[in-house]
Chains A and B, each alone.
Chain A
Amino acid sequence: MARPRPEPIQVVKHRRDAALRALVDGVPYIRFLNISFDRRGDELTGVLNFDDKLIGNPLLPAIHGGVTAAFLEVTAVITLSWEHMFPRIESGEIDADAIMTDKSIRFPKTIDFTVDYLRSGLPRDAYARAFINRAGRRYASVRVEAWQDHHSKLFAQGTGHFLMPQNRTDKS
């Protein structure tokens, strides 16, 4: 059997980047903190673009602990949503334009989130990557790590549990 020709790179990139952009740019709070995402294949890295309004301790100065928690949580939810939707983005079932408007596309909800503050967040950009420990049908467990200058020197890490969107087709 002949293998189908792979899609042209620009088609693949456009589809994935448009879907990711819709997922991230559609959320006002992510824009407020100015968090963006770098994508390599299906791997995402959250970037917290530094701004003075993120400061929580003006004397040090250091990034606000709440901002660090929010950055980890945003990275966890976006990564989990991305992995959850990726097969349907690839198949064309989910269109980038529909991600924030189609009410049938639902997102994981945070149940709990724990942050471990390892060192103070310096007044510069920060990066975060999430690892899905387990994504079940109802619940997911996600670990996130965040760093600044050196990936091996994390300034915070977190673990969260999430309620996965339930398929409601059987109820309608």
Chain B
Amino acid sequence: MVDKTVLARQFIEAIPHARALGLKLMQIGEGEAEISMPYNEDLIGDPRTGVIHGGAVSTILDTCCGAAVMSHPAAPGGTATIDLRIDYMRAATPGQTITARASCYHITRNVAFVRATAMDEDHDDPVATASGSFTVEGK
């Protein structure tokens, strides 16, 4: 049997915008996902400090939430974002990889509820958190 993680990685990393950001799927399964994004000067939001733009952080959080939904045992197939709220706690340290971890903590036939956290290399002090609802689509 083909490893579900390998398939999921291929699926996520084949998304054109995920490739443009260099997103890498680190872990996935049972409604949980972890994705990383290497530091990239193209994603700078403030050229005076080199801090990554919040929009790029939103994208890794959204992608990670979607991956968590798709990996849930009760999810039959794809998903789309209904609503996503991001709280920005602090600027990500320039030069560091950003990692997002998402958890699909509840799922119904139609809706999946997800929470996620984005961190730089200091995993004890999050950069941003997200919470959202996603559609549950059939195969």
Contact string against B for A residues 112-126, beta-carbon threshold 8 Å, 1 for contact and 0 otherwise: 111111001000000
Residues of A within 8 A of B15 (CB): 55-58, 64
B48 at the interface (CB under 8 A from A): yes
Interface size class of B (residues with CB under 8 A): 35 or more
Of all chain B residues, the one with the shortest Cβ separation from A62 is B80
B123 at the interface (CB under 8 A from A): no
Residue of B20, B56, B63, B87 ringed by the most chain A CB atoms within 10 A: B20
Give, as a whole number of angstroms, the nearest-CB distance from A59 to chain B.
8
Q: How far is the CA of A101 from the CA of B66 in the complex (A)?
A: 38
Q: How far is the CA of A59 from the CA of B82 in the complex (A)?
A: 18
Task: Using known A-B contacts A66-B60, A100-B48, A111-B87, determine if residue A29 contacts B55 with beta carbons closer than 8 Å.
Answer: yes
Residues of A within 8 A of B52 (CB): 29
Partner of A114, one of B47, B66, B84: B84
Question: Majority SS of interface residues in chain A?
Answer: mixed
Partner of B59, one of A27, A70, A101, A110: A70
B28 at the interface (CB under 8 A from A): no
Interface on B for A, CB 8 Å cutoff? Answer: 14-20, 41-48, 52-56, 58-63, 66, 78, 80-88
The 8 A-B pairs at the shortest CB distance, nearest first, are namely A66-B59, A70-B55, A29-B53, A64-B17, A66-B62, A55-B16, A114-B85, A69-B58
